[in-house]
Structure 1
């Protein structure tokens, strides 16, 4: 029964039964994405093409999609920045870099290890070739004018001509430099939450955050986690309950929704300068440069940025704040794999306290 199958899929993706007969226009943006996903996978297509399918899905729904695709017998072509999803689902990786396409059999982790090994081997081969070239050049320069050694020098010249170097083109992949420093180290009192509630989202939340904790908040409803972070940042009021920070605490916040930060017509230097005590342009450019905004890019208007560029600007703002408590609401949204990997490693190294929510399984686990 096609209708029953459709209903089962919708429910599995978090669309409750009372919404099954609504029009798509009546659904939230997050729900629309889920309905489009059901539409794509429904009917057993010969080729299923998915462009960033895990965006706006919670971890439970992503697990459902992974299980579905593992059972799917036909061809799947997927673009994704979710490392765990790629590892679970993919049997081949198409690597588009160095101005060409390479196909690797295996999942994301295999591709990464194999491509890095191939690069190291090329670099090692070139290093040995460079050393051999230098040795031959020195011999030729030393003995070319020596009659007794001229024959050997000629032989060395022929050897020199045969030395080949592996072609290593510069990668199109660029990694930002994300480093979170603390202006001051936190004391023992970090954050105490008592009986906080927000109508229809969460009820009676109690939590005592300790120094150095790195806590992931997981929910099927992203509105609940966003509301919690907005309350903790002072942008919303809880319906009930209280919370208090320790006296030494300073927060740095990455919101999920950042559109209102970019309504003005400032260029990126002026945009970031408003959040910095140090107004020197070279100083501001340094933080933008860490997030891959260089040259003329720093004069780009803040209201024309892409989603990924906005998140990178917000991360620059966070680095400037030098908070000892980081609040991050879905920080991997809109970022490419290079930025996600860098952010992931930066948070592992961060010595302060972190509260975050993410649908990225690998990000949460590490």
Structure 2
């Protein structure tokens, strides 16, 4: 299938590509006793849950708890261990792809437009006929026209362009091949492809990972107008709060529905846990009281019958142990090796250009000890470039910078595996090369500080 440009066939945009259903909710998908086990580890089991139109579900849980696995099961890309997923007749599902390799030579706009494949194919056929590349008989021509009429296909190109621009890809780049974009922007194009598809069920796994603040804000507004069934995985709690109406918690080897936003979920889950803990404590106290009576009077003939009755009562009291949460939180501790001077960094008239494009122009700044500075702005304006200049990854085009007295800096890059990719060593040997002045036993207690402790 060859890429093509189809903008000439498009009419001005009318409305968002999302279906505008009414307030009535309809169950589009149903999870029926769904279970997933990987390598003997249960992610979730006996899940009985309807997923309804008009609901925007935030899917939350620890890393590795099964959130992405659930999305793949719903998208039909992975099998459940038992149980099944049923769908309402005619329900369409959109799932955010992560593999952009098949589309690298395609024009960016065309990639986004393939999110509505029937309309895209109809537009392509009519475009080919218009340019004499293929012949269409009257029936075929009418069929393509019907497809475009039923799918609002004539507005497909402007709608795709609108979404791409909202995600930070300017119109002047839309006819360039996908491979001209960086990895993060290529994923934005795949996100646009998913959003343009008008699915009844939309499955998004960490859609904000490669978005800047402006694109995240645009996506928040876009998804808030969605009237289908949305399942959204994100660790951005603010994003979840602004977008989602309901919460699905993947924990305790099950999936629990909380009919409210993320704050409601946090409060309700903590309250439910506290209630169960109090109930267990009450039953344990009751058992202890009866066992004390048994221990005290079991040897007395006058109380033997009562003691035996208490034994039977204790045997009937069942306490279901609380399951352990899969959530863990990192516990990091970074202590400065020594105290630096009061002035941490001085930057004077710093400039950086790439060929004829100026990214940083005459930047001057002074930082003092204790300062916490956020570097914000749209993608491509020079945030990472500025940091890379300070850590000697890039050479400034002009200007200067100077670290303060006794300052030692650490750098966590946008590509944290970059340093490891250049080395064939294992992690311990790599650390040893970086800090040869430290003894190897130092690593063990350091890693111990990073071990995860249980939450909830």
Q: 1:173 to 1:68 in 2, by over 3 A?
A: same
Q: Does 1:231 align with 2:389?
A: yes
Which stretches in structure 2 are left out of the alignment for 5+ residues?
1-10, 12-154
Q: 1:246 to 1:24 in 2, by over 3 A?
A: same
2:198 match: 44
TM-score by length of 2: 0.60
Deviation at 1:188, TM superposition (A): 1.8
Deviation at 1:58, TM superposition (A): 0.2
Q: 1:177 to 1:158 in 2, by over 3 A?
A: same
Deviation digits for residues 269-304 of structure 1 (CA, Å, limit 9, x no counterpart): 3333334443233x32233344449xxxxxxxxxxx
1:204 match: 362
Kept in 2, the 8 Å contact 1:269–1:285? The answer is: no
Higher strand share: 2
Q: Secondary structure at the match of 1:201?
A: strand
Q: How many residues align?
A: 295
Q: Does 1:186 align with 2:340?
A: yes
Deviation at 1:20, TM superposition (A): 0.9
2:439 to 279, 286, 293: 279
Q: How far apart, CA to CA, are the structure 2 residues paired with 1:251 and 1:143?
A: 71
Deviation digits for residues 90-149 of structure 1 (CA, Å, limit 9, x no counterpart): 112111121111111112222222222222222232233223322322221121101222
Deviation at 1:66, TM superposition (A): 0.3
Q: 1:23 to 1:280 in 2, by over 3 A?
A: closer
Q: 1:152 to 1:275 in 2, by over 3 A?
A: farther
Kept in 1, the 8 Å contact 2:343–2:366? The answer is: no
Higher helix share: 1
Deviation digits for residues 214-258 of structure 1 (CA, Å, limit 9, x no counterpart): 211112125721111111112222112212222132212211112
Deviation digits for residues 133-188 of structure 1 (CA, Å, limit 9, x no counterpart): 22322221121101222233223223322333243112222222211211223332
Which stretches in structure 1 are left out of the alignment for 5+ residues?
294-337, 342-366
Deviation at 1:39, TM superposition (A): 1.1
Q: 1:149 to 1:273 in 2, by over 3 A?
A: farther
Q: Secondary structure at the match of 1:180?
A: coil
Q: How far apart, CA to CA, are the structure 2 residues paired with 1:155 and 1:186?
A: 73
Kept in 1, the 8 Å contact 2:352–2:397? The answer is: yes
Which segment drifts farther, 122-131 or 49-58? 122-131
2:111 match: none
Kept in 1, the 8 Å contact 2:345–2:368? The answer is: yes
1:70 match: 224
Q: How far apart, CA to CA, are the structure 1 residues paired with 2:418 and 2:166?
A: 33
Q: Does 1:81 align with 2:239?
A: no
1:121 match: 275
The structure that has the greater radius of gyration is: 2
Q: 1:28 to 1:168 in 2, by over 3 A?
A: same
Deviation at 1:268, TM superposition (A): 3.0
